[in-house]
Amino acid sequence: MTATTITRSPRAVPLSGRWTRVAGGLGGVILTVYVGLLFFGSQLAPFRATELAGRSLESPGGDHLLGTNVLGQDLASQLILGARASLLVALLAGVGTVLLGGIIGILAGWFPGWLDSLLMRATDLTLILPKLPLLLLIGALTGGSVVGLSLVISLLFWPTAARILRSQVLTLRSRTHVRAATGFGAGTWHQLRRHILPDLGLLSVAEFIPAAGRAVGLQAGLAFFGIGDPTQPSWGAMIRDAIAYRGVFITDAWKWWLAPPVLALVLLIIAITLLGTAAERRFSPRVARHSR
Amino acid sequence: MTQVLRPPATMTTAPADSGRGRRRTAYIRTIGLYLVTLFAAVTLTFLLPRYLPGDPLAALNDADSGTYVYDAQERDKIAAYYGLDKPLISQYGSYLSGLTRGDFGWSISQNVPVSTLLRNRLPWTLLLTGSALLLSSAISYFAGLTAAWHRGRFADRALITVLSVTRAIPEYAIASGLLILFAVTYPVFPQAGAHEAFPTYSSTWDHISDILFHLALPLVALTLGLVANKFLIVRNTAIATLGEDYMVLARAKGLSRRVLKYRHSGRNALLPFVTALGIQTAFALGGSVFVETIFAYPGMGTLLERAVFARDYPLLQGYFVVIAVVVLVANLLTELTYTKLDPRVGRR
C-alpha cells in the first residue's frame, strides 16, 4: 500500500503564527465556558432534563427561556445539561484514541520488520473500513453508554494517531543521541522511557485535540440515531426529537428547539478545532516546518 | 519540445519495461490484500451482531412486547425457520454460500429478500455519494491550486479559514441548517425524498430535472464536509512543487499561467489527492447515513437506520457487505490509478 504512505502531514492547516494564536485563544475561551457548563450545569439549569416542567410546546418566555418540547420538558435545561455527554465522550474517546494509536505507532516505529508491516497493514485496513455504519451497529447492539461509546470510537479511529506517532518514532530512532544510547547497550524499555516517550508528549496532545473534536461529532451523531443513555440529555437527542416532530418546521419551534443544540454543537466543535490548529502548529514539528 | 517539459512524474526516466514484472507482482499483492480485507469484513459483519447483546427474536420472546408469541414450540419453530437455532458454524457456512450466489437472506423486519431492498436503495446512495465525491473533488482541486498560486495572500487565507471551519461541522448540522434555510424559511428546494411522490413526467428531461432538484440540498450538505481535506492536500503539495527547478524553467520559457498551474503544478498534486479520495469513500458513505435520514432520501442510509433498530441481522449483514465492497473497490481503483499516475510507485 505504497499509495497511502505520505511522509509529511498534508492535511495540516497552514496559517500564520499570529492568526493561530488568536484562534487558539478564542477556542480556549469558548471551551472554558463549556467546561463551566459541565461543572455548574446542574446549578444553572432551572429544571431536570427529563422533568415535565410545563405544558407541551410552549414558546420561549416566562419560566422557560427556550420554551418546551412536545413532552413539556424545559429546552434550556436540556441544552445546558447536554454539555456533559459531549465533553465526557470527547475526553475519554480522545484519550483512548491517542493511547491506542500511540501504543501501535510506537511498536511499529520501534520494531521495524514483520511487526511494523503487520501493524501498518492493520492500520490501512482500519482506515478504509466504513466506520460510521460500524459504529452505529455496535452502538445499537451495546446500548452506547459513555464509556462503551468512547471505547468503540477509540477502537475504530486510532489509525491517524498511530501513523503520525510512528513516523515521529522513526525519525527519533535515527537521531544521534538515540543511536548512541543503543550503542552503549540501552535496552528497549530504557530507550522508550528516556528518549522516545518524552519527545512524543506534545505531539500526542496535538493528536488528542482533533480526536476529541471528532468524538463530539460522533457522540451527537449516534444520539441523533437514538443510541446513548436515554436518561441523560444530549444535543444529538434534542436534534433527533426536534426533527422527529414534523411540525417543527411548520411552526417557529425550530428556532428554539432545533437551532440551539445544532449551534451549541457546532460552536463546541469549532472551538476544539481552533484550539487544535494552534496546538498542531505549536507542537507538531512537521507543520511548523511547512507553514510559512 | 513538449516532451522535455513534462512534469517530473513522467520525467524520471526509467527503462521501458524493467519494472513491469515487479509491478505485476505488486498488483497481485494489492488485490490479494483487498480480498483478505473483504473476507475479514464479511466475517466481522457475521460475528458482531451474534456476539453483542440484542436478539432478533427478542420481541417475540419478551412477554412485555406486543408481538410476544405465547407458545414455546411456536417460538422454536420461528427460530428454526430463520435458521437461528443451528450452530454458529453452520449459520456461517450457509451465509457464505448464500453470498456467493448473491443471496443475502430474508429481511426479518420487512419480510422481503434483502437483495431486493439493497437493489432498490443502492443506486440512490451511489448517486448521492458519487456526485458528492466528484463535486467536492472538482472544487477542492481548483480551489487548492488557486490558493497555492496565491499563497499567503488574502484568497489563500480566506479559503483556509472558511474551509477549516466547515470541515469541523458535522454533516447532520449542515444538513439541518440547509433544510431550515432553503426548504423551510425560503422553500426553494423540497424537504424530503428523491423525486416527486406521484410523478407524472412529460419527458425524460422532466424526470432528470426532478431528480436533480431533489438531489441538490443533500448533495451540498454532503459535499461541504468533503472539500476541506482534499483542498489542504492539493494546496500543500502544489506549494511544494512551485519552488522546484522544473517550475522555474517552465516559467522562464514563458509558458502560460494556465499550463504552469494545471499541467506542471497540478499534476503532482494529483497523487496524494487521489489517495485521499479513496479514503474519503468510506467517510462519504458514513456521512450519507445522516444526510439521507435528515432529507428522508431513499438510499442505503435510511435503510440502515431501520435495520439497526429492528436488529434485522440479514439486512445489516447485507448492508455492510455491499458497503464494504463499494469502499474496497473504490480504494483498489485508487491504488491502481496511483500506479498509473506515478510510474515511480510500482518500482520500489
Instruction: Give the B window 16-55 contacts with A, CB below 8 Å.
Output: 30, 33, 37, 40-41, 48-49, 52-54
pLDDT of residue B16: 46
Mean per-residue pLDDT for A221-230?
A: 82
Q: What is the dihedral of CA B220, B225, B226, B230, to 10 degrees?
A: 130
- CB distance B328–A3 less than 8 Å? no
pTM of the model: 0.80
> What confidence score (pLDDT) does residue B31 get?
82
User: Which pLDDT value is given to residue A286?
Assistant: 55
Residue A292's pLDDT is what?
Answer: 38
Least confident of A26-35, A172-181, B1-10: B1-10
Looking at chain A, the whole-number percentage of residues with pLDDT higher than 90 is 18
How far is A191 from A185, CA to CA, in rounded Å?
Answer: 10
Q: Beta partners for A52? A: A73
Which residues from chain A sit within 8 angstroms of residue B331, using beta carbons? Answer: 128
pLDDT over 80 at A276, yes or no: yes
The per-residue pLDDT for A288 is 46
> So what's the pLDDT on residue B125?
93
Flag whether pLDDT at A9 surpasses 70: no
pLDDT-derived band at A30, boundaries 50, 70, 90: very high
pLDDT for res B346: 53
Mean pLDDT score, A51-55: 72
How confident is residue A8, by pLDDT bands cut at 50, 70 and 90?
very low
Across the interface, whether the CB atoms of A221 and B290 are under 8 A apart is answered yes
Give the minimum alpha-carbon distance from B256 to chain A in angstroms, rounded to a whole number: 26
pLDDT digits over A57-111, tens only? 777 777 777 777 777 788 888 888 888 889 999 999 999 999 999 999 999 999 8
Which long-range contacts link A91-95 to residues 24+ away (Cβ below 8 Å)? A91/A212, A92/A146, A92/A147, A92/A150, A92/A215, A93/A149, A93/A150, A93/A153, A93/A154, A93/A157, A93/A211, A93/A212, A93/A215, A93/A218, A93/A219, A94/A208, A94/A209, A94/A211, A94/A212, A94/A215, A95/A208
The per-residue pLDDT of chain B, averaged, comes to 80
More confident site: B213 or A247: B213
Query: What's the confidence (pLDDT) of residue A50?
Result: 75
Q: Do the chains contact at B37 and A217, CB–CB below 8 Å?
A: no
Query: Which chain A residues are Cβ-neighbours of B170 within 8 angstroms?
Result: 217, 220-221, 265-266, 269
Residues in chain B with CB shorter than 8 Å from the CB of A265 are 170, 173
- The DSSP line for B34-85 is HHHHHHHHHHHHHHHHHHSS--TTHHHH-TTSTT----HHHHHHHHHHTTTT
Residue in A closest to B28 by C-alpha: A1
Residue B59 has a pLDDT of 62
Q: What is the ipTM of this complex?
A: 0.75
pLDDT of B101 reads 85
Low-confidence ranges of chain B (pLDDT < 50): 1-16, 348
* Each residue's pLDDT tens digit, A126-161: 877 788 878 887 887 777 788 889 999 999 999 989
